[in-house]
Amino acid sequence: MTVKVSKPAINVREELADLKKPTGIAGEAMLRAETPQEQQALIGVGRRNAIINGLAQVSQRGDYTSATSMTVNNYYIDRWKAYSSGGTNTIQHVTSSQPSTLAGSKSIKILSSSGGTIALGASQIIEDYQFFVGKELTISGWMKSNNSNSRFLVSDHVTWNAVGDAHSGSGNWEFITGTITLSSSATGLTLSPRISTSTAGAVSVSANDYIEFTGAQLELGKVATPFEHRSYGEELALCQRYYWRPPSAASFYAYQYQPSYRMAQVRMPVEMRATPTVQYNTNGGSSWQAYNHNNTHIGYYATASNTSASNVYIYDLKCDAEL
Amino acid sequence: MFEVQIDTITNEKSGIYCQTHNHWIPLDPANRHYQEVLDAIILEGADCFDGDIPTDLQTAADEKQFNQQLADYRVAVARLAQYIVADGRNQVTESQPTGEQVWNEETEEMEDVMHDVITVTAIDPVEPTVTRMVYSEDDPMAEPTEETIENPLITTDVAERAEAQAVVDATPQPVKDAA
């Protein structure tokens, strides 16, 4: 005898939800995720932070731990371009009194010496902006300021928009986060902590007003995940794609390749974004000429006889391929 | 001040030397200093160069200037196309097919069913003036007085439109033709 038994269809997810397991809201969300990509986004794994040197650990160009007179559009701490619409200002690499959750971090402080109706801060241009076009981005970071017009701004290289709330101006560290969708017509992507209006315009700034920031993070999605910590070595390598400065005393000797010429060739530690602008000093030889530069190595040759006993080399090399 | 560097091995341009900053700039459009050289040529012309500006650099600078003017012109035209805040905007309605069709017995053809769609919503003009209270700086106890000023929204709109119009007026005709 054959017995037919029919069972009603069951929804496994609902059944699991009924179990008194301590899944919590995050666990429920994981179970409801449709794809591994959604689950990955929920966990916040992988390379998330598009900002390089977010903790301001790398400063290849020099030591700015004392307040340094700031020139607009110059780079000081790696990857962060100084900005002000006017006045006299300083930039400082601060190494103490960091946010408690970012122990060991450093921060960048930009201060207006003169005051005035100005905008000032720093900005970081993201190279791979195409990846973010039309997508929702979350900005987060720590900010300290005594001016209540301090905020994070994002530019799609058409317009500037504030993201998240402005700093209260209390002079204490405040964690600021906000979400923005990068326009589909974006031609670039820049994050800028600055004292300004919500559209990057000038505001009233008193002498000694400042903005200080660290832990800057720009990531896909609408939730600020914990700061993505990278080792100093990783961060340095990322920075060296845009700027490389070996120790100033490092010498790159020229070899004799013709009876009257010597050539110095230097290979960059990482492939640079573009053929860099180069600054260098020379010792010995004459009529130094650049030869066959590209984004992986540079070469210079000089007139120097093979009977000359002098050392011929270049030193104090600086390669700049910043955006 | 810039000067062209010639590679004596190949006898070709190897880069640009910036005397001001003592750095060597590659002939790479992705390099920001190369772009600054082009900007200097646009702004200062031959004054920024020690010797003649090489033809290819001048061509690159002209192209950059053209593209900048074109981009600025497009932004300005788009700004001028926006409604005037002081005037407001009229509603625009268009008759559009719904996607359905019906049989017309007179013409003996299928015809689209049409319906009216608002393609541009109406916006009322803003108040031409606003009043604000003015407090005396000399006497904090004095009663504030009312002051009537032009609506700041209108002031901003007029200024932005004037700026956009100035860009349009200053744009060379070949750039306008390319827009």
Residue A159: strand, helix, or coil: coil
Lowest average pLDDT, out of A282-291, B80-89, B114-123, B136-145, goes to B136-145
Taking 3-state DSSP, the helix, strand and coil percentages for chain A, each rounded to the nearest 5, stand at 10, 35, 50
Contacts of A52 (CB under 8 A, 6+ apart): A78, A79, A124, A235, A238, A239, A242
d(CA A279, nearest CA chain B) in Å: 5
CA dist A168 → A115, A265, A271 (Å): 19, 52, 42
ipTM > 0.85?
Answer: no
Q: Which of residues 28-47 of B touch A (CB under 8 A)?
A: 28, 30-34
Closest chain B residue to the Cα of A279, Cα to Cα: B23
Round the average pLDDT of chain B to a whole number and report it: 93
φ/ψ region of B101 (left if φ > 0, alpha if ψ in -120 to 50, else beta) reads: beta
For position A20, what pLDDT does the model report?
63
For position B11, what pLDDT does the model report?
85
For position A187, what pLDDT does the model report?
93
φ/ψ region of A303 (left if φ > 0, alpha if ψ in -120 to 50, else beta) reads: beta
Q: Residue B32: its chain A contacts at CB < 8 A?
A: 277, 322-323
pLDDT band, very low/low/confident/very high, at A22 (cuts 50, 70, 90): low
Q: Mean pLDDT throughout A85-98?
A: 96
Q: Which helix (H) or strand (E) holds A41?
A: helix A36-43
Contacts of A252 (CB under 8 A, 6+ apart): A264, A265, A266, A313, A314, A315, A317
pLDDT at residue A127 is higher than 90: yes
DSSP B43-85: HHGGGGBSSPPPHHHHHHHHHHHHHHHHHHHHHHHHHHHSPPT
- The token pair at A149 is 């017009």
For position A10, what pLDDT does the model report?
78
For position A31, what pLDDT does the model report?
82
Q: Residue B30: its chain A contacts at CB < 8 A?
A: 273-275, 321
- Contact yes or no for B21 and A279 at CB 8 A: yes
Integer Cα distance of B10 and A299 in angstroms: 14
Round the average pLDDT of chain A to a whole number and report it: 92
Amino acid at B93: T
Q: Which helix (H) or strand (E) holds A25?
A: helix A24-32
Residue pLDDT, tens place only, A249-275: 889 999 999 899 999 999 999 999 999
- The token pair at A92 is 């400082």
Beta-carbon contacts below 8 Å between A and B: 56
| Global confidence as pTM | 0.80
Residue pLDDT, tens place only, A192-251: 999 999 999 999 999 999 999 999 999 999 889 999 999 999 999 999 999 999 988 889
Q: Mean pLDDT throughout B107-115?
A: 92
Instruction: Please report how the helices B152-170 and B55-81 are oriented relative to each other, as an axis angle in degrees rounded to 10.
Output: 140
Q: Residue A278: its chain B contacts at CB < 8 A?
A: 23-24, 26
B9 close contact with A: CB closer than 8 A: yes
Q: Are B109 and B90 in contact (CB under 8 A)?
A: no
